[in-house]
Amino acid sequence: MNLHADDWPEHKLIELVAIADPGAKGFSLGEGDWPFSGFIVHKGGQVYAYANVCPHRRHQLDLRPDDFLIEAGSFIRCASHGALFSPETGDCLAGPCVNQRLLKLPCRVNEKGWVVVRAPESLRDIKLPD
């Protein structure tokens, strides 16, 4: 089981210009019963990536595809329970999981303008932060 981000493969996912600033875009990796779901946040010219798993109930944050940000990108929101997270750090700022955080994924923009994220291809390969 690959629990460390350094062991996960890099995935070239989307051109940065395809994500509004502020904006967010979900992605899925792998196949079968446990595909990995994540999302990319583009805010203030910076890029952040997270596992699409709320630390409160361990389900996806978006009920509608790519519906992660509220208040002009000021917060990431869990649509089910209203938890609010910092787009820059993934820290829960309000809601049922205060003092917890989203699983942050290493990401970068390559020389051709594509967002590259280091992530597993299965939810079985991660340990979520407490």
pLDDT tens digits, one per residue of 9-53: 999 999 999 999 999 999 999 887 788 999 999 999 999 999 999
Any idea how long the chain is?
130
5-117 carries CATH number 2.60.120.10: no
CA distances from 106 to 17, 43, 64, 86, 116 (A): 19, 16, 25, 16, 9
Name the nearest CA neighbour of 18 among 110, 86, 115, 119.
115
Task: Quote the pLDDT of residue 3.
Answer: 53
Confidence of residue 2 (pLDDT cuts 50, 70, 90): very low
Q: 17 CB contacts (<8 Å, ≥6 apart)? A: 113
Strands 36-43 vs 23-29: parallel, antiparallel or unpaired: antiparallel
Q: How does the average pLDDT of the chain come out, rounded?
A: 91
Strands 75-77 vs 92-94: parallel, antiparallel or unpaired: unpaired
Task: Quote the pLDDT of residue 128.
Answer: 62
Confidence of residue 121 (pLDDT cuts 50, 70, 90): confident
